[in-house]
Amino acid sequence: MLRTLAFVTLLGLLAGCETYAIRGKVIDGGTSSITLVNKGDDRLAGDGFGGAEVRAILDPDKLSRKDLGTVIAAQDGTFALPVHEVGAGLLEYKVMVVVRYPHCAPAARLMELPPGDKRLLVSLSAGEDKLDLDYNIVDETRQLGEELMRRQ
């Protein structure tokens, strides 16, 4: 136990105080999508799509899911969404990343937190935003119960 604690402390010191962040770039594309690329990918150097909203949700499939926050992509399309979870960047966390912009189809991807040498390349295309992230199974069950009660 003591060795484990010492190891985790050492990792923290080696990592420094820098907060882990999901980094990437939003571009104008043919289909709305999110692709994991190397941080040196040539497409990251191209023209960006500023003003898009980038949101991440931790453990989106669980009732205990947690909204990690939202950032707005800079004018050049780049973004960095800080993740303030213990071990972020070292431990595996499942997240849903969603990117939205008015009059564009949203881009969404369920994934593990990307390693530091990877970036998200987000492509947005014109379209309608029909993505509902506020789905709640408890509310749905309650609504179904109310409908059944009305029918009787």
**Spans of the chain, pLDDT less than 50:** 2, 4-11, 13-15
Give the per-residue pLDDT at 65: 79
| Token output for 98 | 């969603």
Can you say how many angstroms the Cα of residue 107 is from the centroid of all Cα atoms in its chain?
10
> Who contacts 48 (Cβ-Cβ below 8 Å, separation ≥6)?
25, 26, 27, 73, 74, 75, 76, 77, 78
The contacts found for 129-135 with CB under 8 angstroms, 24 or more apart, are 129/100, 129/104, 129/105, 131/98, 131/100, 131/106, 133/55, 133/57, 133/60, 133/96, 133/98
End-to-end CA distance of the chain: 60
Give the per-residue pLDDT at 151: 74
pTM for the model stands at: 0.74
Q: What share of the chain is helix, strand, coil (3-state, %, to 5)?
A: 20, 40, 40
Cα dihedral sign, 11-14-17-22: negative
Give the per-residue pLDDT at 139: 61
Give the per-residue pLDDT at 52: 94
The SS3 call for residue 98 is: strand
